[in-house]
Amino acid sequence: MNENGEVIFQEYHPTHDDESGKNNWKKAIFDTVQELKTKSGDSPIASIGLSAPGLPNDKNTCIAYMPGRLQGLEFFDWSKYLGQTVHVLNDAQAATMAEVYFGAAKGIKNAILLTLGTGVGGGLVLNGQIHQGLFQKAGHFGHITVDNQGERDITNVPGSLEDAIGNSTIEKRSFGRYKTTYELIEAYHVHDPFASWLWLDSVRKLAIGIASLVNTLSPEIVILGGGIAQAEEGLFNALAEFMALYEWRPGGHATPIVQAHFGDMAGAIGAASFALNRIG
């Protein structure tokens, strides 16, 4: 993309992360970069940004912590592998940057983004800048507690927001009835009683989480991205009802909650923005 946020070329390659031990994802990314360089022709690529799950190191040159997935990703030297300086960012933080520079949070100084998908990620913008925090883990809003009696999640937090609404727990939460959140929402739309109870309970816990974040961080806007946010009215209408119940609204002022502008390219666009911002 260019400095105006316009996507010039894009490529998709499967990472094949499920083929353990083969590290096919490295070659997929290498091939993607080479194809983009070929397409750019006489316009050299000035900087490379890479978004990935996990926590980057303090210099944003690699992912320092990512247990269980993409074996070999931790401390992998991307700049050496690709032959050019690479700026690495957590994928949810990258999606947040895309919204800040070119999307729903453009021109806004303080914002939070939650990505609702397999898990729940997020990003925090303070005074117009992405806040990564100690160990680069700021914005992991999926690991706040919405049920203190719930089971501990992968970070040891009890009853986390991620476990309450993330797609990774849908089979367990539905007692095996649904394999995906998409199936759950489809059943909710036809007023299936069990689906309605389960989905609305998940959205209620999302509202509790957002209300807690709003009280703590006082953002100008809350942005929801990820696959579950594509439920649109099925999510946002129910969420508005619960936010009216839980949100602290001094003077009657509610915090706007909007859908993310970018879809599955958000991480790439945000990583490119991060890299462009570091040129020079």
Q: What is the CATH number of the domain that holds 192?
A: 3.30.420.40
Whether 117 and 238 map to the same domain: the answer is yes
Do 133 and 251 sit in the same domain of this protein? Answer: yes
Same domain, 25 and 129: no
Cα(133)–Cα(272) distance, rounded to whole angstroms? 20
pLDDT for 171: 96
Same domain as 268, residue 242: no
Does 221 lie in the same domain as 272?
no
Q: Does 184 share its domain with 51?
A: no
Quote the pLDDT of residue 167.
92
Q: pLDDT value at position 18?
A: 60
Look-up: residue for tokens 């690479």?
86
How crowded is residue 259: how many other Cβ atoms within 10 Å of its Cβ? 14
**Residue 12: partners with Cβ closer than 8 Å, 6 or more residues away:** none
- Burial class from Cβ neighbours inside 10 Å (0-12, 13-18, 19+) for residue 280 reads exposed
> What pLDDT does residue 8 have?
86
* Low-confidence spans in the chain with pLDDT less than 70: 16-22, 68-69, 279-280
Alpha carbon 231 to its chain's center: 16
135 and 254 assigned to the same domain: yes
Residues 270 and 228 in one domain: no
Residue 3: what pLDDT? Answer: 78
Region of 92 (left: φ > 0; alpha: ψ -120 to 50; beta: rest) is alpha
Beta-carbon contacts of 46 under 8 Å, excluding residues fewer than 6 positions away, are: 276, 279
Q: Which residues, at least 6 apart from 278, have a Cβ–Cβ distance to it below 8 Å? A: 47, 87
For 18, the domain range is: 1-103+263-280
Question: Looking at the structure, do residues 95 and 33 belong to the same domain, yes or no?
Answer: yes
- pLDDT at 280 (0 to 100): 54
DSSP code string of 33-75: HHHHHHHHTTS----EEEEESSEE-TTSSSEEE-TTSSTT-BT
Estimate to the nearest angstrom the gap between the alpha carbon of 9 and the chain centroid.
22
Please tell me whether residues 238 and 277 are part of one structural domain.
no
Please give the helix or strand (H or E) that residue 110 lies within, else none: none
Domains: count for the chain? 2
- The reply to whether 113 and 248 lie within a common domain is yes
User: d(Cα 91, Cα 208) in Å, to the nearest integer?
Assistant: 24
Say if residue 92 is in the same domain as residue 133. no
